[in-house]
């Protein structure tokens, strides 16, 4: 296990100073390695806070302070507003590093980060309204379109709905809420509406098996006015340069299709959680003898094989996810439009990657024996978190594998309009 490098975090904090002009911290100079060093340096602190984060059922203020100081919530934010604007692979790599300390934190970081990326797709006015005032502003989301409905009104839309699983909502001053726009009974658009905290209600219903620290509560809005510039059509965010923010941002990073690659910001939480379970298991096996046979567990071939298999699954999951990111970034840079099966491949892969990580954690939890059931033993939280995060629809193997298989063999398949 690599030792944390504290200098990465300290260096970032030292540079995180408000400028004389009054603008917030500028991280546009930061590269991927520096961001990874900062994430690695935070791992011990996150590990110490993991239990308290779970008990709080939300992100702790001190963790948000650390993340803001290091810039690790702004690594795909445009440089125009002081963000790092790192390659898409950072959405896997950075949460995967943070999850070695706390899976819930990594999940929220992935969500908050990709919402900065998404905000770059909106009209300039929407970006300026949020980032000119506070480039660090956290943005939560409710992504299920059928849970929200929008009606055209003068100057914008009227939004109503109740959205589940709004991760990191408590400390977020903004939310991106999905809605179906209908003309009569026909759906004519899929909108992501930017809504300020004052315009929606947070419902404290997040009492769950795992991932408690994400604070993924439900939110409710009733007949809220959303100005037109704060509503992004997902039909313009399927890849390419049709999104309104294209006039500001020419980096191919922002041309990657949201529906195709959107859940890759969360797979890092699964990878890092599984890696933490493996690191803990190796440390534990090195030190422990079995209670009944006075044997060193590290000398048992079956234990060695179980650890090796878990490591292989984790490495395979990481490789799959990173390859998807590399392909998507390369195709965007070359102005290539993915075919349908090329769009479905990363959706298949990310679900399979999470399945591999869950299998690894399950195997390692079994290896822990009776120790794995105690609250004070971190493995039981890793086990619960693995199964809780796998419940995300984007990671549902049945749902994400079938479309690729259907298209591969030429069977009937009608893709969603947002793909």
DSSP for 349-362, written as a single string: HHHHHHHHHHHHHH
pLDDT at residue 374, rounded to an integer:
87
The model's pLDDT over 272-329, given as tens digits with 9 standing for 90+, comes to: 999 999 999 999 998 876 666 677 888 889 999 999 999 999 999 999 999 999 999 9
d(CA 30, CA 13): 12
CA-based radius of gyration for the chain? 21
| Start-end of H helices in 23-120 | 32-56, 61-70, 90-98, 103-119
pLDDT at residue 370, rounded to an integer:
83
Average pLDDT, stretch 151-156?
98
d(CA 159, CA 172): 19
Nearest Cα to Cα of residue 92 among 266, 306, 302? 266
pLDDT at residue 14, rounded to an integer:
37
The model's pLDDT over 368-414, given as tens digits with 9 standing for 90+, comes to: 888 888 888 899 999 999 999 999 999 999 999 999 999 999 999 99
pLDDT at residue 19, rounded to an integer:
34
From residue 278, alpha-carbon distances to 219, 284, 363, 365 in Å are 36, 10, 10, 10
| Greater model confidence, 37 or 13 | 37
pLDDT at residue 12, rounded to an integer:
36
DSSP state of 180: E
From residue 270, alpha-carbon distances to 102, 210, 290, 317, 364 in Å are 11, 12, 29, 9, 14
The model's pLDDT over 137-149, given as tens digits with 9 standing for 90+, comes to: 999 999 999 999 9
Q: What is the mean pLDDT of the chain?
A: 93
pLDDT at residue 375, rounded to an integer:
87
Residue 6 has pLDDT above 60, yes or no: no
Q: How far apart are the first and last CA of the chain?
A: 39
From residue 336, alpha-carbon distances to 60, 91, 123, 372 in Å are 42, 21, 24, 48
pLDDT at residue 303, rounded to an integer:
93
d(CA 152, CA 236): 18
Burial class (CB in 10 A: 0-12, 13-18, 19+), 375: exposed
């Amino acid at each position: 296990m690599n030792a944390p490098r504290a200098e990465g975090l300290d260096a970032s904090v030292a540079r995180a100073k408000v400028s004389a002009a009054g603008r917030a911290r500028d991280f546009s100079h930061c590269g991927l390695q520096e961001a990874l060093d900062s994430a690695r340096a935070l791992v011990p602190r996150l590990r110490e806070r993991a239990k308290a984060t779970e008990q709080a059922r939300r992100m702790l203020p001190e963790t948000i302070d650390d993340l803001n100081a290091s810039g690790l919530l702004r690594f795909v934010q445009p440089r125009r507003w002081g963000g790092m604007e790192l390659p898409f692979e950072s959405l896997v790599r950075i949460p995967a590093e943070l999850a070695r300390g706390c899976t819930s934190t990594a999940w929220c970081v992935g969500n908050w980060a990709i919402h900065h990326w998404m905000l770059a797709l909106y009209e300039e006015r929407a970006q300026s309204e949020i980032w000119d005032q506070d480039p660090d502003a956290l943005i939560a989301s409710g992504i299920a379109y059928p849970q929200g409905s929008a009606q055209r009104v003068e100057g914008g839309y009227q939004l109503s709905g109740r959205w589940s699983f709004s991760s990191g909502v408590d400390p977020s001053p903004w939310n991106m809420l999905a809605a179906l726009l209908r003309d009569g009974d026909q759906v004519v658009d899929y909108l992501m509406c930017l809504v300020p905290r004052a315009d929606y209600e947070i419902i404290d219903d997040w009492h769950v098996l795992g991932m408690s620290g994400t604070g993924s509560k439900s939110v409710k809005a009733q007949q809220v006015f959303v100005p037109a510039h704060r509503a992004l059509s997902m039909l313009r965010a399927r890849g390419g340069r049709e999104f309104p923010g294209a006039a500001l941002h020419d980096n191919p990073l922002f041309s990657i299709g949201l529906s195709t690659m959107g859940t890759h910001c969360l797979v890092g939480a699964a990878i890092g959680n599984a890696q933490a379970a493996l690191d803990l298991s190796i440390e534990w096996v090195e030190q422990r003898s079995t209670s009944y046979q006075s044997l060193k567990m590290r000398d048992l071939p079956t234990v060695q094989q179980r650890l090796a298999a878990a490591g292989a699954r984790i490495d395979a999951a990481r490789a799959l996810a990173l390859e998807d990111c590399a392909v998507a970034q390369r195709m965007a840079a070359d102005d290539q439009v993915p075919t349908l099966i090329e769009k479905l491949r990363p959706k298949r892969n990310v679900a399979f990657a999470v399945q591999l990580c869950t299998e690894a954690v399950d195997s390692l939890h079994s290896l822990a024996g009776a120790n794995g059931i105690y609250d004070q033993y971190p493995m039981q939280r890793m086990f619960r978190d693995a199964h809780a995060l796998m419940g995300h629809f984007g990671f549902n193997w049945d749902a994400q594998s079938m479309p690729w298989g259907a298209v591969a063999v030429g069977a009937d398949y009608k893709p969603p309009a947002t793909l």
